[in-house]
């Protein structure tokens, strides 16, 4: 099989050498000390985008073979110096620089560098084993190694040191348990003589030292190759992991990394980093080492799949980003939706209303080639657009009255937000004003943000989740198991909010929020005060004498923060497609990758370039061909749910649904604190609700989680629409059918009007005949037509945006 693959690869290369590329990973090799080594992979990328691991077929040579030793795609140091590795595959040649330093020096054993990774790799410190809160079988390690000093103490000092035997290291209980010589609930974890066994023995032979505080630790990690497209089940690709350390050195940690995949059905990875292709699909293969988790995308295609891209038109960069991904996946996008579908879809998405029959007719008769773009521009200027996004932000900011926040304060806060959105104030400006707010909750209503939640750690988590999409709650107690966040990151970020002061105002109902100038947060393990540090960024140069929240706000809502623009772009995208490019939108983590990272990066870049004017971002999305695609699947995209190859079918949220029912029946609603006829999306207070809104999943705004908006259909919803006090009573209350009968309109005319009013389309010939026959057969024409009205409003076509 290997020789056959060699012939195939060489044949392809000879035929189309210019169109194919060969890459070697990592692109450079640096070896320090005698025990260092570096494995590498050679990846071929074919003209059709398929990649192959051709490491075994490549020829490898060194300019100075006296400096290194090669053994099965692993380079070992022999002597100090600089050389070059030449990798040849067919007609293609790749050169890799190689540097060797201190080749005869033996690196001292390190507990943090060499032993702790063994516990991670073997699964000893996971939640189901010794990393559990109470440990396992009387022995506890810190979860995922967040407390190495504590782990060292428990290994060497706890129970009078019974777990280690420094006189005879091989007889240590630690070794006996790991090798399975004595009963061990976790089973055999290492084999006698392997590198993990040797690392622990070397550490014990050195008297089990704890590293000095100055020990070098990893500062970054790389995973190679950066991506792969595998041709059919059974194809293989090896992964190489390299860590870079604080002293400028690097290390091949492939054998120490813990490997994971988010889709084993598509790509399965073993403990050695070998990926095996499975069924067609997309997966994200991850490597975890130290506090880093890095992932790379893998695509698995059916063997020898024949595919021709249909040259789908592109209106802007949104289409380019989506189509580039679809090409890789060999997925054909659906065609453009009809005008009837588009006009209903865009009205619902942009202003939360249906087009009136007059608006529908005006759009349908227009012959302008850019009428869809013109309609988007028109809708963006309507006040209903702002009202819809005020609702969205009011949920994220948890605007509601409570024992802490009076109704007056809440309403002033809501009005502040409404003013910002209505005037299209750049998002970064009002976010900075919000996070750095000081003053009275009446005089400066935005300060209510710090009254709705007063717990420092909860405020920390909310800011990270809303404005950066990060759920950092895990890092409060231990390093995040599936992301980069450590306890240091968590409490360093919390330090920005520890100096918030609160006091009573002249009005007993008003509270004053101010910068107290004092107050720190201590690390729960080390007990030392944590300096303020941006989440995912550096520490600010100087916060002495400054309001830390202002310092944070100026960084968070700026291009210096790589997460802000992309997170808000993802929130906007999710509104129009029913799911984010990262989904859920507030669960951004390495183990929950973007379905299209290049597209998300470009959206964030454009949003930043627009000076955070999100109307422009909405316009880009709504005028794209991607947004305007039909919901009808093609043969290749019918099973796709993540790559936006066709228009999504989405449940309409509670407030909009109630507004639509009210709109089409020509009735009015009365909500607490609002005038008669107000829309449900205008309700300011998260605590105000109705039976309909509660049944259909309106959020209570008690948390910032996107999961509070519930869109799952339930039996209660169906029963309420069929028999409850909303649809049928409103049909009777509005009297729309009776009014049209008085105007001498015929049943077919009334049926067509109801279809256009509710569904933004005329009935088909078959629908018209069936309904006309039913109405004609009923002596009570008004009752029959109202039954038609009721049936349309209870149809899935009315209840969904499509």
Q: Tell whether the model's pLDDT for residue 179 goes beyond 70.
A: yes
Beta strands in 116-266 (DSSP E): 218-224, 228-231, 236-238, 240-245, 250-252, 258-261
Q: How many residues does the chain have?
A: 802
Per-residue confidence (pLDDT) for residue 613, from 0 to 100:
96
Backbone conformation region of residue 432, classed left if phi is above 0, alpha if psi is from -120 to 50, else beta? alpha
User: Residue 507: pLDDT above 90?
Assistant: no
Q: Is pLDDT of 492 > 80?
A: yes
Strands (E), 80-175: 81-89, 92-101
Average pLDDT of the residues in 258-265: 93
Share of the chain above pLDDT 70, in %: 98
CA angle 665, 669, 672 (to 5 degrees): 170
Q: Residue 259 has what pLDDT?
A: 95
> pLDDT at residue 2 above 70?
no
CB count, 10 Å around CB of 685?
A: 21
pLDDT at residue 463 in the model: 97
135 or 83, higher pLDDT: 83
Q: From the CA atom positions of the chain, what is the Rg in Å? A: 31
Q: Is the pLDDT of residue 271 over 50?
A: yes
Q: Is the pLDDT of residue 11 over 60?
A: no
C-alpha distances out from residue 498 to 252, 396, 454, 459, Å: 40, 22, 10, 10
For the segment 452-460, the average pLDDT, to the nearest whole number, is 95
Q: Which of 36, 595, 585, 536 is nearest to 291 (CA)?
A: 536
Pairing of strands 92-101, 29-32: parallel
Backbone φ, ψ for residue 574 (5° rounding): -60, -35
Its pTM stands at 0.90
Phi–psi pair at 197, nearest 5 degrees: -60, -45
The whole-chain average pLDDT of the chain stands at 93
Model confidence band, residue 113 (pLDDT cutoffs 50, 70, 90)? very high
635: which 2 tokens?
A: 């043969």
Give the pLDDT band (50/70/90) at residue 151: very high
Mean pLDDT value of segment 693-709? 91
Better-predicted residue by pLDDT, 541 or 563: 563
The model's confidence at residue 478, banded by pLDDT at 50, 70 and 90, is confident
Through-space distance between the first and last CA atoms of the chain, rounded to whole angstroms: 49
Q: Residues 744-748: what's their mean pLDDT?
A: 95
How sure is the predictor about 731, in pLDDT bands with cuts at 50, 70 and 90?
very high
Residue 8 has pLDDT above 90, yes or no: no
Q: At what angle do helices 371-380 and 614-622 cross, to 10 degrees?
A: 150
Q: pLDDT (tens digit, 9 = 90+) per residue, 664-695?
A: 999 999 998 899 999 999 999 999 999 999 99
pLDDT digits (tens, 9 = 90+) for 641-660: 999 999 999 999 999 999 99
pLDDT at 623: 98
Is the pLDDT at 18 greater than 70? The verdict is no
Contact call for residues 275 and 298 (beta carbons, < 8 A): yes
Read off the pLDDT of residues 193-248 as tens digits, 9 standing for 90 and up: 999 999 999 999 999 999 999 999 999 999 999 999 999 999 999 999 999 999 99
CA distance 517 to 515: 6
pLDDT above 50 (res 280):
yes
Residue 245 — φ and ψ, nearest 5°?
-110, 165
Indicate the pLDDT class of residue 5, thresholds 50, 70 and 90.
very low
Give the model's pLDDT for residue 526: 77
> What is the pLDDT, as a whole number, of residue 10?
31
Q: How far is CA 485 from CA 147, 164, 291, 302, 427, in A?
A: 14, 32, 8, 37, 26
| Two structure tokens written together for 787 | 């039954």
Distance CA 559, CA 166 (A): 54
Close Cβ partners of 475 (under 8 Å, ≥ 6 residues apart) = 485, 486, 487, 489, 490
User: By three-state DSSP, how is residue 552 classified?
Assistant: helix
Tokens of 559: 């291009």
Q: What is the pLDDT of residues 707-720, one digit of tens each?
A: 888 888 899 999 99
- CA geometry: angle 616, 620, 622, nearest 5 deg: 110
pLDDT over 90 percentage in the chain: 85
Q: Count CA within 13 A, CB hemisphere, residue 146.
A: 28
Question: CA dist 182 to 118, 134, 168, 173, Å?
Answer: 19, 22, 16, 8
Element (H, E) at 513: strand 511-515
Q: What is the Cα–Cα distance from 70 to 89, expressed in whole angstroms?
A: 17
């Amino acid at each position: 099989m290997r020789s056959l693959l060699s012939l195939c690869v060489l044949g392809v290369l000879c035929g189309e050498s210019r169109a194919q590329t060969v890459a070697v990973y990592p692109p450079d090799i640096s070896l320090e000390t005698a025990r260092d080594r570096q494995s590498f992979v050679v990846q071929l990328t074919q003209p059709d985008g398929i990649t192959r691991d051709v490491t075994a077929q490549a020829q490898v040579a060194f300019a100075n073979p006296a400096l290194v030793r090669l053994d099965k795609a692993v380079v070992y140091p022999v002597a100090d110096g600089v050389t070059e590795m030449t990798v040849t595959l067919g007609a293609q040649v790749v050169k890799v620089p190689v540097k060797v330093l201190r080749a005869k020096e033996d690196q001292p054993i390190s507990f943090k560098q060499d032993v702790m990774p063994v516990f991670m790799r073997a699964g000893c410190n996971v939640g189901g084993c010794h990393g559990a809160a109470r440990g396992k079988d009387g022995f506890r390690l810190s979860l995922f190694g967040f407390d190495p000093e504590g782990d060292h103490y428990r290994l060497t000092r706890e129970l009078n040191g019974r777990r280690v035997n420094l006189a005879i290291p091989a007889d240590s209980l630690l070794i006996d348990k790991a090798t399975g010589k004595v009963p061990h609930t976790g089973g055999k974890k290492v084999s006698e003589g392997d590198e993990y066994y040797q690392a622990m023995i070397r550490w014990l032979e050195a008297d089990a030292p704890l590293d000095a505080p100055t020990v070098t630790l990893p500062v970054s990690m790389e995973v190679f190759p950066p991506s792969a497209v595998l041709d059919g089940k059974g194809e293989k690709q090896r992964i190489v992991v390299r860590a870079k350390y604080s002293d400028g050195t690097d290390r091949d940690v492939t054998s120490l990394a813990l490997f994971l995949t988010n889709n084993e059905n598509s790509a399965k990875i073993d403990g050695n980093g070998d990926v095996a292709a499975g069924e067609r699909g997309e997966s994200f293969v991850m490597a975890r080492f130290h506090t880093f988790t890095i992932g790379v995308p893998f695509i698995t295609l059916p063997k020898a799949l024949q595919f021709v891209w249909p040259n789908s038109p592109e209106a802007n960069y949104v289409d380019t980003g989506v189509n580039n991904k679809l090409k890789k996946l060999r997925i054909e996008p659906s065609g453009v939706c009809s005008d009837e579908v588009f006009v209903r879809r865009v009205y619902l998405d942009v202003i939360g209303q249906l087009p009136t029959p007059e608006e529908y007719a005006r759009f349908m008769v227009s012959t302008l080639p850019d009428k869809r773009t013109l309609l988007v521009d028109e809708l963006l200027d309507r006040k209903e657009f702002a009202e819809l996004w005020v609702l969205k932000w009011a949920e994220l900011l948890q605007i509601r009255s409570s024992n802490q926040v009076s109704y007056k304060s809440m309403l002033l806060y809501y009005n502040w937000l409404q003013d910002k959105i209505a005037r299209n104030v750049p998002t970064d400006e009002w976010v900075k004003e919000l996070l750095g707010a000081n003053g009275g909750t009446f005089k400066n209503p935005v300060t209510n943000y710090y009254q709705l939640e007063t717990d420092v750690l909860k405020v920390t988590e909310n800011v990270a989740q809303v404005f950066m999409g990060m759920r950092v709650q895990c890092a409060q107690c231990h390093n995040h198991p599936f992301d980069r966040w450590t306890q240091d990151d968590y409490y360093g970020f919390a330090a920005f909010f520890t100096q918030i002061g609160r006091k009573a105002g002249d009005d007993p109902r008003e509270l004053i929020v101010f910068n107290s100038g004092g107050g720190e947060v201590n690390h729960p393990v080390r007990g030392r005060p944590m300096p303020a540090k941006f989440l995912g960024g550096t520490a600010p140069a100087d916060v002495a004498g400054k309001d830390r929240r202002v310092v944070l706000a100026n960084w968070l809502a700026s291009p210096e923060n790589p997460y802000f623009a992309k997170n808000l772009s993802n929130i906007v995208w999710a509104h129009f497609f029913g799911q984010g490019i990262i989904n859920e939108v507030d669960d951004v983590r390495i183990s929950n990758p973007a379905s299209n990272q290049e597209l998300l990066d470009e959206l964030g870049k454009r949003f930043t370039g627009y000076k955070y004017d999100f109307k422009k971002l909405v316009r880009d999305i709504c005028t794209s061909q991607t947004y305007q695609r039909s919901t009808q699947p093609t043969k290749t995209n019918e099973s796709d749910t993540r790559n936006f190859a066709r228009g999504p079918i989405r449940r309409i949220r509670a407030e909009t649904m109630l507004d639509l029912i009210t709109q089409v029946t020509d009735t009015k609603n009365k909500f607490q604190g609002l005038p008669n006829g107000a829309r449900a999306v205008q309700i300011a207070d998260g605590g105000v609700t109705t039976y309909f809104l509660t049944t259909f999943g309106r959020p209570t705004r008690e948390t910032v989680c996107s999961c509070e908006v519930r869109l799952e259909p339930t039996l209660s919803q169906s029963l309420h629409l069929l028999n409850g006090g909303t649809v049928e009573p409103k049909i009777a209350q509005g009297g729309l059918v009776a009014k049209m009968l008085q105007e001498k309109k015929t049943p077919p005319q009334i049926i067509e009007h109801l279809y256009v009013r509710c569904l933004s389309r005329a009935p088909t010939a078959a629908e018209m005949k069936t309904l006309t026959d039913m109405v004609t057969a009923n002596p009570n024409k008004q009752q029959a037509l109202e039954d038609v009205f009721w049936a349309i409003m209870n149809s899935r076509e009315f209840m969904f945006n499509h």
